[in-house]
Amino acid sequence: MNTLTFLLSTVIELYTMVLLLRVWMQWARCDFYNPFSQFVVKITQPIIGPLRRIIPPMGPIDSASLLVAFILSVIKAIVLFKVITFQAIIWIAAVLILLKTIGLLIFWVLLVMAIMSWVSQGRSPIEYVLIQLAEPLLSPIRRILPAMGGIDFSP
């Protein structure tokens, strides 16, 4: 039973990360003609497409993707706690799970971007999208902490 719980929890978290990545890509105005961006859109479109007709976006933030990510976080909290009631603790746990997933997504994007900047020979489509995602987060840090000797300490 614990194996099934772990597997279901992992699948839910990965799909939640993809949904949050789509929200982040729309907020950062990433190039949606990029193959990696197209992959993210194609994975999330079957669920988000019908919801976008009902739930409009709130400015640059895709509210339909955020709603589905929150619903998946509620399902993950129910799976982890093995409780089917909708008490306040489930909603609080779902918000905390969603915040943890956002933090993990930011961590992995920055880590993969830093490693790819050291290793890659040219710009790959994934690296281009990761740079577009990380730039709004890193630019305030780069103003405070300038590059020293050609080394960027911001990520």
Q: What is the pLDDT of residues 69-93, one digit of tens each?
A: 999 999 998 888 877 777 888 888 8
Is residue 108 in some structural domain? yes
The domain of 135 spans: 2-144
Tokens of 142: 């780069």
Is residue 22 in some structural domain? yes
Number of domains comprising the chain:
1
Is residue 74 in some structural domain? yes
Buried/exposed code over 89-106 (b: 16+ C-beta within 10 A; e: otherwise): ebeebbeebbeebbeebe
Query: Is pLDDT at 16 greater than 80 in this prediction?
Result: yes
Q: Report the Cα 78 to chain-centroid distance in Å.
A: 21
Is residue 153 in some structural domain? no
Is residue 155 in some structural domain? no
Is residue 78 in some structural domain? yes
Is residue 152 in some structural domain? no
Query: What are the residues facing 58 on neighbouring strands?
Result: 61
Tell me the C-alpha to C-alpha distance, in Å, between residue 10 and each of 1, 17, 21, 45, 101.
14, 10, 16, 20, 11
pLDDT of residue 155: 63
Is residue 56 in some structural domain? yes
Amino acid at 7: L
82 DSSP 8-state letter:
T
Task: Pick the closest to residue 25 from 103, 109, 101 (CA basis).
Answer: 109
State if pTM tops 0.95.
Answer: no
Q: Are 125 and 108 contacting, i.e. CB atoms less than 8 angstroms apart? A: no
Query: Is pLDDT at 146 greater than 90 in this prediction?
Result: no
